[in-house]
A and B are shown apart, each in its own frame.
Chain A
Amino acid sequence: MNKKLGEIIASKYFSFFVTVILFAVLYGAGIAMYKGFMKPQVFLNLFIDNAALIIVTVGITFTLLIGGIDLSVGAVLALTCMVLAWILANTGIPVFAAIFIVLLMGTLFGALQGYIIAKFDLQPFIITLAGMLFCRGMTAVISRETINITDPVFVAMADFRLPVGPGFVSMGVLIALASLIIAAVVLGFTRFGRNIYALGGSESSASLMGLPVFRTKVSVYTISGFCSSLGGIAYALMMLTGYNLHGMGMEMDAIASTVIGGTLLTGGVGFIPGALFGVLIQGVILTFISFQGTLSAWWTKIVVGALLCVFIIMQAFITEHKSKLTAQSSLEENS
């Protein structure tokens, strides 16, 4: 194989580049096929429609980076919407206090899951599955019916539009962008962030290198819990309801976005901009389908499923390529 090409494939940004190129190609195809794609607002709508998913994906990326997983994100998001709607409908608690309460709730729930996982060295899959069932159940216990949010302050926030060029973005988008930036900085430029990568690379090495494994693990799930409830706020801003079936299967969309964005499920590899593009690709496909007009929205799932499959296979290929690289160079050393 061409050496240059080999090095590009081994680069840690390779899957990210593939994702970005794929996004550009899809968007370009959209522009070529439908005039409407040219409108800047169509692009901005990708963010507006997916603000909650972006925030949740940011959180789940942290857990995937340490080789864990958080299945509870969608359910925590639904519970957040529901509790928020219930508080605003049934108590006199002011809206910002209510938001604070639900964020705290999500964060503590994440911390609890993280503590259990780290303390007893349990499978995150099972613990967060339990968390998911618990939260989904609690949401239904609070109300089986939709609760509308009518609080004037909250509705005003939902109606807020920030002009961007010829278009506009919503409050949710601002929250999403802030989460993206903060997460990217934390992961790239703080010790805590790098410990997360180390932990994902090899837990035993991390502990032998004297890194705080326990603390990092708990923090990661705490962040995921916080992001889920923050995503819940963004979701509520869009829907203005609390409902038992909000965010159904969102954990899977989030995982799919992260993986398409180049994060390895084995942990240690991946980064935040990739996750964003993962979400955006799903958004573009959905936009395609709505422009096309006759196809069912479920086609998004089919395409995403196929993409996911392709990306996983590509990752396996990269991993194999890399191990060959190591083996090759060690043979050279020995001969």
Chain B
Amino acid sequence: MAAALLEMRNIDKVFPGVRALSNVDFTLHAGEIHSLMGENGAGKSTLVKVLTGVYPKDGGTIHLNGREISPKTPKEAQEEGISTVYQEVNLCPNLTVAENIFIGREPRRFGFIDWKEVNRRSVELLQKLDVDIDVNKTLDNYPVAIQQMVAIARAVDVDAKILILDEPTSSLNEGETARLFKIVRQLQKQGMGIIFISHFLEQIYELCDHITILRNGELVGSYEVAKLPRLELIARMVGKDLNDVKDMDKMAEKSVPSEEVFIETDHAASIGQIKDVSLQIHKGEVIGFAGLLGSGRTETAEMLFGLKDVTGGQLKINGKAEKLANPMAAMKDGIAFCPEDRKLAGIIGDLTVRENIILALQAMDGMFTHIPYSEQVKLADQFIEKLRIKVSDRDQLIKNLSGGNQQKVIIARWLATHPQFLILDEPTRGIDVGTKTEIQKMAVELAKTEGMSVAFISSEMDEMVRTCSKLIVMRDRRKVAELTGEQVSSDGVMQAIAGGDN
């Protein structure tokens, strides 16, 4: 193979209390799509940020085309030809599409920005990506998928030699993803080196040539995709034996629910949200809400937590009719809810892990009841150990944790209130395989050992099939099927979702 485009050798990066990268090597060739894999917190993002000049490196060398570089700011990295499209779109919503593509390097005439040229070239660039939009409108007029394309247009235009795509597909649907892949392959043909980071294994195997795996800030190895079966990849990522992983996939036995019903609804409806849902959730049962996006699965969960009013039908808790007026009422009845959007509705970034854990308990006890510090510490430490949350210490700010660990803290927050019914809405979104499995296991464990009822909502069907002993299938805001025992399978769910519409 030709000489490497990019060679990173012995890269070290230390954050206060954490060794984020130690002795990591990474090699990228021109015309190669290279995936960087690892669990959350393995150091992928850190490595990328070292390369793009966001973080200064603490040791090691970076060579681009044989010449040593050390970008200190994103601007310097861009000037070297290293472009990045970040997971959350990092553009300015208040500027026009054209400006977002060209800001910082607008074509000028007599020292003033040549707007005509900016607009003309933006249209041209976007057309290459098959995007046909009004570039004169501000970015906030467009959905995330389009914004992502704009970010790519920007990255590609900077005469990039290397393009880094950090989770570019997490907010795209299938069609959009396919379109993105087409573009990426096109760029590959032009000789660009592409670093592709994603949690979706399918996509990695579809798109990439090479995989470099990181674990706990260390290099595990670099492999050709064709020679690395998926199971082996996962095993290397989580650092376990291949056989362990196989077991993990099968998952320990599911929880067997008791006869007692904790919460039930009878033809429950909520105006504009849910049309008709009847369900029974037993103690010690892991129940899943399946269905497509917009089918009403999240709304059902929210109704059970008092976030949506029950406007028709009935809701019973422990056999007694209840009206959950608000979340506090639901909490008093022993219901806990980990919401879908953990960044927006879950974590409080500037509080510590300990403070985030005691939050729900504090809310239940009332604002004026003091939870003694020693008690807080005990609780926090107990959950950090129990859920194996990776923190440098309990007073670390939660925003500095990886996504998976943040999710665990949120779950800990609710477990601290000793709920009888725990609702997990998309608890594994954007989380690495290892932690995903841990969270699934935990849901089953809680149901088995503590007799807790758990509702598990996920867009990944296998995940629910593996975890839940009962599945409620939703379509068009109604329950269309209830699957138990053997019926709980991907096939069963698909048929239920498809059923009726010939």
Contacts and interface: CB of A to CB of B under 8 A. Distances in A.
Contacts of A208: 54, 74, 84, 86, 90
Contact of A194 (B75, B99, B111): B99
A118 interface: no
Nearest to B113: A189
Interface in B6-47: none
Contacts of A189: 112-113, 115
Nearest to B106: A191
B340 interface: no
Q: Which 9 A-B pairs have the closest CB atoms?
A: A201-B92, A210-B75, A330-B143, A268-B94, A201-B94, A189-B112, A205-B90, A210-B74, A208-B90
Nearest to A329: B143
Contacts of A331: 294
Contact of A198 (B77, B103, B143): B103
A197 interface: yes
A289 interface: no
Nearest to A267: B94
Contacts of B113: 188-191, 194
Interface string A324-335: 011001111111
A10 B141 contact: yes
21 contacts: A12-B94, A12-B138, A191-B103, A194-B113, A195-B104, A197-B95, A198-B92, A198-B95, A201-B93, A202-B91, A208-B84, A208-B90, A209-B90, A209-B91, A210-B74, A210-B76, A210-B78, A268-B93, A326-B142, A332-B143, A334-B293
Contacts of B75: 210-212
Interface residues of A, number: 36
Nearest to B78: A210
B145 interface: yes
Main secondary structure of the interface of A (DSSP, over half): helix
B74 A333 contact: no
Interface of B: 54, 73-79, 84, 86, 90-95, 99, 103-104, 106, 108, 111-113, 115, 137-138, 140-145, 154, 173, 176, 293-294
Contacts of A191: 103-104, 106, 108, 113
A10 B139 CA distance: 11
A313 interface: no
Nearest to B155: A209
Given A189-B112, A191-B106, A195-B103, A206 B141 contact: no
A12 B84 CA distance: 28
A206 B99 CA distance: 12
From A198, A202, A206, A208, residue with most partner B Cβ within 10 Å: A208
A184 interface: no
B91 A205 contact: yes
A292 interface: no
Contact of B95 (A194, A212, A325, A332): A194
A5 to B, nearest CB: 15
Nearest to B110: A189
A143 interface: no
Contacts of B137: 10
From A185, A189, A197, A212, residue with most partner B Cβ within 10 Å: A189
A112 to B, nearest CB: 24
B97 to A, nearest CB: 13
B104 A209 contact: yes
Nearest to A65: B94
B173 A209 contact: no
A131 interface: no
B90 A326 contact: no
A326 B138 CA distance: 11
Contacts of B78: 210
A269 interface: yes
A281 B137 CA distance: 29
B442 to A, nearest CB: 30
A34 B94 CA distance: 42
A9 to B, nearest CB: 12
A83 to B, nearest CB: 34
A334 B91 contact: no
Contacts of B106: 191, 194
Given A189-B115, A194-B103, A201-B95, 16 more contacts: A10-B137, A12-B138, A185-B112, A189-B113, A191-B104, A197-B95, A205-B90, A209-B91, A209-B104, A210-B77, A211-B104, A325-B141, A326-B142, A329-B141, A329-B143, A332-B143
